[in-house]
Amino acid sequence: MFDFTHNKPGTIYEHRDRRIDSLRGVFLVIMTIDHFGGYLTKFTQQPLGYVSAAAGFVFISGYVCFQAYGESIDNYRKKLSKTVHRGVKIYKYHIFIVTIIPIISFMIPEYIGYWNRLLGGYYRSPVKTSLGEIFLVHQPKYMDILPMYFVFLILCPLLFFLLEKQKTKQILVFSFSLWAAGNFLNPIEFLDNCFSTQFNPGFFNIFSWQFVFVLGVIVSKHRRSLLKKIENRFMLFSLFGLNVLFFYFRHLDTNINDVLVLARSDFPAFRLLNFAVLCPLVAFCLTRFPRSAFLPFFEYLGRYSLQIYTIHILLIYFLLPFDWRIRDQFGPYGYSTYVVCAVLCLAILMHFYNTLRRLWKEGSRDGRFATLRRRL
């Protein structure tokens, strides 16, 4: 049913690092479970320390971005074209989500009662709120990560240019300074306050989270030299010991720990430190496997991460009226089964979408849909 073929020569997956796709798919599944909530979050919500799946996903996006556009393309104009094209694609998905969900709620009024808390601005001032979405200053719940990626992709050509000029240290200093500023200022929140108090600045502070993305890009460029450093036994044992400490404190049953687990928006210093000591261990573990190694279901999701993330947002919104009913009727284990089914739906819907797209292309080539396509 799904395409789980290996990286055979001549296939579109020959040059993909399927370990990375698998890891990205794992992060997508964890984020989906966390967004649905319930009993399963005891195992998925930052289990290894103060590191969330979103942080890993953002880091990997920067890592893959450099390999796909910064390293594999020599011509700077092509790099600019490719990154901007990818950024525009992400922006289109963002506009699709923020447009289709409110329209559906107006077509099916029963949804308004469930979505009012998440999309209240649309019902009070639809024109102003829509403009806020277009200019990325209004970001409803779960709709804030795609605008952030769009900004990152648009700025990537400048980042690649500076890396070619051997400006890695300067990039790190500037990016770290923005991260430090992000602990005191959220730029989107500042813009929202300038225009309207009804806008939602989103969960992610772009000043803070850009550092995670930039780290992914820089690690991707210098990955060979960095991997040599972490192969040192003393380094490995030191990193492992630090991660054990973070794991221990993360699972302490204290009030302060509850606060630390929720402090994610500005990516505070303790999270950055935890992230910095966990990433090298994950990278070392990945090097124990060839590039063609993969986790079938997760690799399929990671391969289509943009589409899967979009589908997961739609699922969360559309299934919202059923969430509390499932909880009350079937308890925590029944709700966990419901969440697992929702996760499986991500792959099923993606497969359905790919099938329709393939049939459309085949029909266009042989002329069956040529007339219809011209009309559309």
Q: Does 10 fall in a domain?
A: no
The CA distance from 126 to 351, in Å, is 34
Whether the per-residue pLDDT at 242 is higher than 70: the answer is yes
Please give the Cα distance from 207 to 169 (Å, whole number).
Answer: 18
**CA distances in angstroms from 295 to 23, 26, 233, 326, 335, listed in the order given:** 8, 9, 28, 30, 25
Residue 76 within any structural domain of the chain? yes
Closest CA to 36 of 338, 329, 253: 338
Measured between alpha carbons, how far apart are the two ends of the chain, in Å?
30
Residue 215 lies in a domain: yes
Please check whether residue 80 lies inside any domain of the structure: yes
In a domain, 127, yes or no: yes
Q: Rounded CA gap, 367 and 249, in Å?
A: 63
DSSP string, 299-335: HHHHHTHHHHHHHHHHHHHHTHHHHHHHHHHHHHHHH
- Three-state secondary structure call for residue 121: helix
pLDDT digits (tens, 9 = 90+) for 184-241: 999 988 887 777 667 888 899 999 999 999 999 999 999 989 988 888 889 999 999 9
Give the C-alpha distances (Å, rounded to integers) separating 69 from 63, 97, 217, 305: 10, 26, 11, 17
| Residue 222, domain member (yes or no) | yes
Average pLDDT score over residue span 275-279: 95
Mapped onto helix, strand or coil, the DSSP state of residue 203 is coil
Count of structural domains, the chain:
1
Provide, rounded to the nearest whole percent, the portion of the chain with pLDDT above 90: 63
Burial of residue 176 (CB within 10 Å: 0-12, 13-18, 19+) is: middle
CB count in 10 Å sphere of residue 280: 21
Residue 102 belongs to domain spanning: 18-375
Q: How confident is the model over 71-129, as pLDDT tens digits?
A: 877 788 888 889 999 999 999 999 999 999 988 888 888 888 888 888 877 888 888 88
Average pLDDT, the chain: 88
In a domain, 7, yes or no: no
Q: What's the pLDDT at 128? A: 85
- Range 323-328 average pLDDT: 93
Alpha helices by DSSP H, the chain: 18-36, 41-44, 53-65, 76-107, 110-124, 126-134, 145-164, 168-182, 187-195, 206-221, 223-230, 233-250, 255-262, 269-286, 296-303, 305-318, 320-365, 370-375
Residue 106 burial (CB count, 10 A): 12
Q: Using one digit for the tens of pLDDT, what is the confidence trace for 133-156?
A: 898 888 888 999 999 999 999 999
